[in-house]
Structure 1
Amino acid sequence: MNSFSYSRARDVAAAVDEVALPERQAKFIAGGTNLLDLMKENVMHPRHLVDITHLELNTIEDTLEGGLRLGALVTNADTAYHEQVDTRYPLLSKAILAGASPQLRNMATNGGNLMQRTRCYYFYDTATPCNKREPGTGCSAIRGFNRIHAILGTSEHCIATHPSDMCVALAALEAKVHVRGPHGDRAIPFADFHRLPGDTPELDNNLQPDELITAIELPPQGFADHHSYLKLRDRTSYAFALVSVAAALELDGDTIREARLALGGVAHKPWRDPEAEALLIGKSATRESFQLAAEKILQGAKGFPYNEFKIELARRAIVRAFEQALTNEK
């Protein structure tokens, strides 16, 4: 690990000001559950760390619009077990609890979860080319061992996947990300927060380097009655998803009034397709309807030598998740 300097921010404005100085090459640090690993592996080497753990961003409160505002520094564990989240947004609670381990969830923050980087083997292996780590060097995964890699939204420059479970649920719920930068506050729709690799795989999201996540806003609709988070992985705990599905329904009898579908483990960002969801509106909540949505959202999926199985796995997982959402079976 390279040497670095450290400071503790007294408030949000001071934290933003410190990171805004380009010569400092600074990063925010809170739980540090991903950043410190990357520093130890020599993948990231900030020259200065700004500790934000003492900022007043650690509350969960109602919004005037009837939703819920999650402070960026609330831990994943406290979020998942919060009464309002568990009752009104159980899809989010289940997604969080499907990720990492209890020890990590006790340290990891909501803002940090959004910012975590891919777990691609080649990104962590500094002896191999990686466009995400060093733009222009190539993507070792495309012709390498790519079992955990993306099948949607890839480019010739990168086929890495986003590792978060929490973010898949936030995508399905259509959350907003509130950030503060040198020019003030702004809210980013969750669909616009993370990026596909395109020609700039080194950029994971549309946050500016000097902006700080302050909160995540959940809308009033939480799909508490009919939801499911299904995570398929190599072992039942402490493993990243091969495919995960956040499915949510609003029903009128057996007719679908509203549907949400987001996939994890298959792309550089949580994957949604509004057209696939629209296919379900007005349809009966049947396996046949869910299969149509699965075919649509996976249209254009492309496998690589070791991960072609993900396409069929995702297709079946979508149907299963929606069927579970009808009764909220686990």
Structure 2
Amino acid sequence: MRPFTYERATSAEDALTRHDGETHYLGGGTNLVDLMRLGVETPARLVDVAHLPYDEIQLTPDGGLLIGAAVSNSALAADRTVRAGHPMLAQAVLAGASGQIRNLATVGGNLLQRTRCSYFQDAAKPCNKRNPGSGCPAREGEHHNLAILGHSEACVATHPSDMAVALSALDASVHVLGRAGERTIPIDEFHRLPDNEPERDTVLEPGDLVTAVEVPPLGMPSRYRKVRERASFAFALVSIAAALEVDRDVDRDVDRDVDRDVDGGSVRDVRLALGGVAHKPWRAWFAEEALRGRPATRESFLRAAEAELDAAEPLRDNAYKVPLARNLIVRTLTELAGGAGEDELGRGRTS
């Protein structure tokens, strides 16, 4: 690890003035410090922003949440307001890492964590994300857990955050303070697909500081499910954040003409986001559009999943993610349609 200086910011404005091209903001440090040990990140200066006054969860006037960037993941998952009104967010946080890491990790840092692609994490190997123009050996090498959607010739890495997937389905927005002032970025526009600039994970400019995440009210059953290679402390092969509102006051005879498998009810609203499949949390817009107004049945859910995954471009060793994602969408929506999808936090199940 190369030498660096450590400073503690006294305010957000103070943090901005301390930031230059070789500076990193430090929150919990659970990802950044690991990357420094690996030689992937080599900041000359760390500016500690974990003690700034962004460590509260507040209710907004419309019943949503304003979550400070310095709130720990443990505090977010344990908050009664979050668990009651946005259960899939609490489930997603609990599905990530260990309790010890969640105690230290922050909401802002969780959004900004970097890919776990093995080529990115090995400073001795080429990687366009770490060293633009050096190539992407993952395309022909080890990629069984990498992207099937939205990737490019330059990068097939996946975004590792569980929390960000839930925030995508919740239509959250990110509050940012920069040298030009404050601005709010919709979560779906916050993270980037790789295109020809895979080194850029987000749309943040140098010196930008994440101060909070705003989450609108949800008002419908939701859940987060994660498929992984081992039972705990593993990143997602595929994950889903889903919310579904079913209108039970429908004409059953009309529904039977449309779908014989109907069990009563049509989809009034739906939110779907996938993790483990792309360079950013993947909002399933095509699947959502295919479902609204349709019968809330397994057949409808299957058609919607196929509409979303039609754009998938798996590589040699990760085509299994396509049927895995399809089955995950169908199973989760089927459970929500049947009333079995409300959070299972009390029973300790998060995946």
Task: Report the TM range for the smaller structure's normalisation.
Answer: over 0.9
1:328 matches 2:337: no
Using the TM superposition, give the Cα deviation of residue 207 of structure 1 relative to its aligned residue in structure 2, in angstroms: 1.0
Instruction: Letter of the 1:182 partner, please give it.
Output: R
Pair 1:195–1:133, CA change in 2 (3 A): same
C-alpha distance in 2, partners of 1:145/1:56? 42
Aligned with residue 308 of structure 1, among 307, 315, 319: 319
Using the TM superposition, give the Cα deviation of residue 184 of structure 1 relative to its aligned residue in structure 2, in angstroms: 0.9
Q: Identity percentage over the alignment?
A: 52
Using the TM superposition, give the Cα deviation of residue 324 of structure 1 relative to its aligned residue in structure 2, in angstroms: 2.2
Question: The residue matched to 1:141 in structure 2 has which SS?
Answer: helix
Identify the residue that residue 250 of structure 1 maps to in structure 2: 245
C-alpha distance in 1, partners of 2:191/2:67? 18
1:272 matches 2:283: yes
Identify the residue that residue 161 of structure 1 maps to in structure 2: 158
C-alpha distance in 1, partners of 2:334/2:99? 28
C-alpha distance in 2, partners of 1:251/1:12? 44
Using the TM superposition, give the Cα deviation of residue 6 of structure 1 relative to its aligned residue in structure 2, in angstroms: 1.1
Question: The residue matched to 1:124 in structure 2 has which SS?
Answer: coil
State the Cα deviation string for residues 18-76 of structure 1 (Å, max 9, x = none). 11x34xx1110010000000000000101000011211000000113331100000000
Are the equivalent residues in 2 in contact too, given 1:26–1:46 (CA < 8 A)? yes
Are the equivalent residues in 2 in contact too, given 1:272–1:297 (CA < 8 A)? no
C-alpha distance in 2, partners of 1:324/1:112? 32
Are the equivalent residues in 2 in contact too, given 1:72–1:110 (CA < 8 A)? yes
Instruction: Letter of the 1:17 partner, please give it.
Output: T
Pair 1:4–1:46, CA change in 2 (3 A): same
Are the equivalent residues in 1 in contact too, given 2:159–2:278 (CA < 8 A)? yes
C-alpha distance in 2, partners of 1:161/1:80? 23
Identify the residue that residue 140 of structure 1 maps to in structure 2: 137
Aligned with residue 102 of structure 1, among 99, 102, 107: 99
Using the TM superposition, give the Cα deviation of residue 15 of structure 1 relative to its aligned residue in structure 2, in angstroms: 0.6
C-alpha distance in 1, partners of 2:329/2:284? 13
1:1-330 pair list within 5 angstroms: 1-19=1-19, 21-22=20-21, 25-223=22-220, 226-253=221-248, 254-326=265-337, 327-328=340-341
C-alpha distance in 1, partners of 2:27/2:198? 25
C-alpha distance in 2, partners of 1:296/1:202? 30
Are the equivalent residues in 1 in contact too, given 2:77–2:94 (CA < 8 A)? yes
C-alpha distance in 2, partners of 1:324/1:154? 30
Instruction: Letter of the 2:321 partner, please give it.
Output: K
Using the TM superposition, give the Cα deviation of residue 222 of structure 1 relative to its aligned residue in structure 2, in angstroms: 4.7
Instruction: Letter of the 1:328 partner, please give it.
Output: G
C-alpha distance in 1, partners of 2:219/2:123? 42
Are the equivalent residues in 2 in contact too, given 1:228–1:324 (CA < 8 A)? no
Equivalences, count: 325
- Give 5+ residue unaligned stretches, structure 1: none
C-alpha distance in 1, partners of 2:101/2:313? 33
C-alpha distance in 2, partners of 1:288/1:262? 19
State the Cα deviation string for residues 81-108 of structure 1 (Å, max 9, x = none). 1010000000100011011111111110
- Give 5+ residue unaligned stretches, structure 2: 249-264, 345-351
Using the TM superposition, give the Cα deviation of residue 296 of structure 1 relative to its aligned residue in structure 2, in angstroms: 1.3
C-alpha distance in 1, partners of 2:52/2:177? 13
Question: The residue matched to 2:120 in structure 1 has which SS?
Answer: helix
Question: The residue matched to 1:122 in structure 2 has which SS?
Answer: coil
TM-score, normalised to structure 1's length?
A: 0.96
Question: The residue matched to 1:123 in structure 2 has which SS?
Answer: coil
Are the equivalent residues in 2 in contact too, given 1:228–1:322 (CA < 8 A)? no
Instruction: Letter of the 1:247 partner, please give it.
Output: A
Please give the root-mean-square deviation of Cα atoms over the aligned residues, in Å: 1.0
TM-score, normalised to structure 2's length?
A: 0.91
Instruction: Letter of the 2:237 partner, please give it.
Output: L
State the Cα deviation string for residues 91-146 of structure 1 (Å, max 9, x = none). 10001101111111111000000000000000011121100000000001000011
Instruction: Letter of the 2:129 partner, please give it.
Output: K
Are the equivalent residues in 1 in contact too, given 2:86–2:222 (CA < 8 A)? no
